[in-house]
Every structure is written in C-alpha cells, then in structure tokens.
Chains A and B, each alone.
Chain A
C-alpha cells in the first residue's frame, strides 16, 4: 500500500511505471508443490536369540502397483572394511522410502568406520544404536522416512536388536517387524516369540490359567519363524515378495541366506 501511495504522489520529476533497480525475487519465501517422499514397500523383520540375531527383509522394490526390481536389498552390513563391509558385526535394515534408507545407511556406515579409525576398536551395537537415533533425530523436521532395525551382538555376546521410528525414538527388543506387512507379521510374532495368549495346558481353566513364559529360541526355530512369516506375508501383501534375504549375526560373523518368494 505504501508503495502505491508513494508512486501516486504528484511530483515535478518525471516518474516511471517501473522501479529502476532490478528487483530480486531470490531470498523470499517459496512454496513448492513437490512431495519429496515415496513408499517403496517391502517388509523387514528381526528376531534375537541368546547368542545370535537374525535380520530379514524381502527384496522387492515397488512404486504403487509397479515392481521396480525383484532384487533391491533392504539389509546392509554396517562397519567392517571397504565397500563390501568385510568383518562387519552390525546389520541395519531399512524399510520405507528407499532413497532415504540408502542415505541413512551410508551415514551410519561412515560413522562406524570413522569410529574405528579414531578409537582403534570396533563400535559396540549399543553405541551404534544410540548414534543411529541421533542421526534420525537430527533430521527431526525433514525426517528420513524409514523404519530402521539395527541388529548385532551386545558386549556379552547376546543377540541385540534395536528398532526405530522415523525420527529416532528407539528401543531394544527381542523381536520386531516393520514395513508393509508388519501388521500381518507382528501378531504372529507376539504369539510365537513372546508366547502371547499361550497357556500352560496343565494349569486349570478360567482365572487359573497360567501364561507361558517366553524362552530364548534356537537359531533353527528363529529361521523357520522368519521364513514362515515372509511366505505368509507374500501371500497377502502385494508389496512383499520376490526374494527373502536373511542375515544371521553370530560371534563368527555375519552369515547371509537367500531364498525365493512368490513373484506374483
């Protein structure tokens, strides 16, 4: 309004209908109609035992109803040496927006490798887990749109699993599923790993019933639970399928297993 009043003021000087200094548009607020995220589907799963941790994820990458790729791993070794992460003892799984997942993986991997150069010892899973939380929270207002699960062995050689929300809230757990089919897999895990709704058959009925206490599972049992989870999820979730990649972390290192899933 002020600009209008000023220029409308009659003067003896010749006036012009434009400002003589070029006006810069830069620097002002800009609004964009660009949504920077997408969902690449897929599911991940982690279960721990007394001396191992298993992380698994399907290898399908999707955009809507399209299959981008039948082999796009969501599991990454963290630390170790070189781009192949030889000798690594930590695994990160990310599901959600794959580009953010890759960026997150690269940042965490760099941090863990730098840690070894600076302190001349391997980073513990505990420390790595907290660092990952900080990396995620650092982008609190433009988050990495991923559900991360970090797995390894703790200081006592016991399987350790940490799960995260996209902004870095985290918790150590014995088992966790994330991604497109997490709503299908989680109740199965509740029942089979945490023995929810399972009662001692020798106890009475009604209020007498005694719940079963969860016990650490054997490695074979865990692997079977993982494959059953994914074959079932692939039946019901269109974003899950193609292949199942599994990383088993033990004191001897990381063992990789791959099996085919339904490709439809």
Chain B
C-alpha cells in the first residue's frame, strides 16, 4: 500500500520497474549529454503600438488582440496601461511580460504616492519622462542579465514641464524619441503615414488633437488591412494637460475592402 498521496495512481517500481529517465536532461535525472537549451522567445504576443505627438499632448493606440503564434487567442487584452494622469504605456510583444511590467509599475505608482505628502490633484506626479527612464533601465538590466522582458513599448504622456513626451524602449534597452513612433509592423506600415503628418517636432507643435486622433485611426485601419496578427477592436488614449482619456473598446470605422478585388498574383483567383 502506498501511503504517499503523491504516489497514488502512479506505476510502482516493484511492479513495473523503474521509470527510465535516460531521455531526460541531466538536471531532471536523465543521462542526456546536452545541457538544457532554454531558448527564450515570446509566446502570447501583442502586435504594433502607435503614438503621435500633437500640440498639447500625445495620442497612443494598440489593438486588443493577444496572439498565440498565428492563432488569435485572446481578443480582449488591453495593451495600453495608464500609469498616472500624466503617462500611459503601450506594450507590444510578450503579454505575460507586459503583465509583469504592469504589476511592477503599479507597485512603483503606489510607492511614489505613499507617505505624508501624497500629491494632490495638481501636485507633483512622476512624469512620462521619469517613467520612461525607469522602464528603460529595467529593460536594459534584464537584457544584461540575459533574461529579457520580451517587449517593445511606447511611453506617452507629459514631461516634468507638461510638454508632450513620447519615447520608445525595448527588450535590448534601446531607447529613442520622435514626434511619431510605432513598434513592430507599425514601424513599416504606420510610421511613413504618421511622418507625413509630423515630419519634425515643429510640425507636431502645430498638429491639433483631432488631426492626431484621425491620423492614428487611419493607421490602425491600414495595420488591420495588412497585419495578419491584428484585429479591428483597439484601445486609444489621449494624454494632455487635462489628464488621460483612455477608451478600450473602439472599433475601426469606414473600412473599405474594395481594394481587395484589385489584388492579383496570390490567393484563389485564377485570372
């Protein structure tokens, strides 16, 4: 009689012989000569994040899809995370790493606001610039430990003097800033469209909120047409002096698939 609950239902050695672990790696009692190959790669992933600076804030958007390879696995994943009333982070890449970072940022926010002088409505907040510095150092530390957080993200919001701020950080710790930014497929498909609207910083200081939102929506549509890992429901946030306006259930409007008829050269058509 096996008295150990962990042994119940398992084959007994005295009846069936010992389990042969030879195929297992050495760390699991096996005899395989090779060390464990622990190749890291993202599993459940989010696609592009887009953002554009305009005269008094930033508009940022990402769709609500989390893919498992080519499978559209989770269709209601919010990839824009509000940090405080000055900053929003948009995540691309691995979703579990995003969730880890979200927890990390929430605890950071609690820490920052804990204590006697918790900021009032107008008090000092950690700016988007501060947040980006923090995040990029986390990312660089993790890549230096060979244990990267598999994300590319955009930090959008206001800097310490309430000017629009937008910057990028990724799994290698690479950072840069620009009037418009896009991660993943967006860097190929959306960035050229956004750069038409804001070729430089001066142009972004002239851009209105409506123009910025319109440009982002147009880009999300282009991405849905061409990026196979995307979906037509997305989140969009506008960060300005009044705070964060985050909408997490927007649908693509005015889609036109008329162009699809013109496509020749692949697919099922024979002429």
Contact = CB atoms under 8 A, between A and B. Distances in A.
Determine the main DSSP class of B at the interface with A: loop
Interface string A66-83: 101111100000000000
Given A3-B21, A15-B18, A34-B146, A20 B6 contact: yes
Interface string B134-170: 0010001001101110000000000000000000100
A219 B11 CA distance: 85
A120 interface: no
Interface stretch (A22-30, A203-211, A222-230, A246-254): A22-30
Given A8-B17, A31-B35, A17 B172 contact: no
A15 B178 contact: no
B104 interface: no
Interface in B21-46: 21-22, 26-29, 31, 35-41
B262 interface: no
Given A72-B177, A99-B173, A28 B11 contact: no
A103 B10 contact: no
A17 B177 contact: no
B172 A37 contact: yes
Given A16-B10, A17-B18, A17-B19, A70 B31 contact: no
Interface bracket on B: 35 or more
Interface in A9-46: 10-11, 14-20, 23, 25, 28-34, 36-38, 40
Interface residues of A, number: 41
A67 to B, nearest CB: 8
A142 B146 CA distance: 11
A138 interface: no
A18 B16 CA distance: 13
B253 to A, nearest CB: 29
Contact of A23 (B17, B29, B40, B201): B29
A28 B27 contact: yes
B31 A4 contact: yes
A20 B4 contact: yes
B14 interface: yes
B187 interface: yes
Contact of B175 (A20, A29, A99): A99
B107 interface: no
A98 B175 contact: yes
A211 B147 CA distance: 56
Contacts of B117: none
B29 A14 contact: no
A4 B21 contact: yes
B93 to A, nearest CB: 13
A99 B176 CA distance: 10
Given A11-B14, A36-B143, A71-B178, 6 more contacts: A16-B2, A17-B19, A23-B29, A32-B40, A97-B172, A98-B176
22 contacts: A4-B18, A4-B22, A7-B18, A8-B17, A8-B18, A10-B14, A16-B12, A17-B11, A17-B16, A18-B7, A18-B19, A23-B29, A25-B36, A29-B35, A30-B35, A31-B35, A32-B39, A33-B37, A33-B40, A37-B172, A98-B175, A103-B173
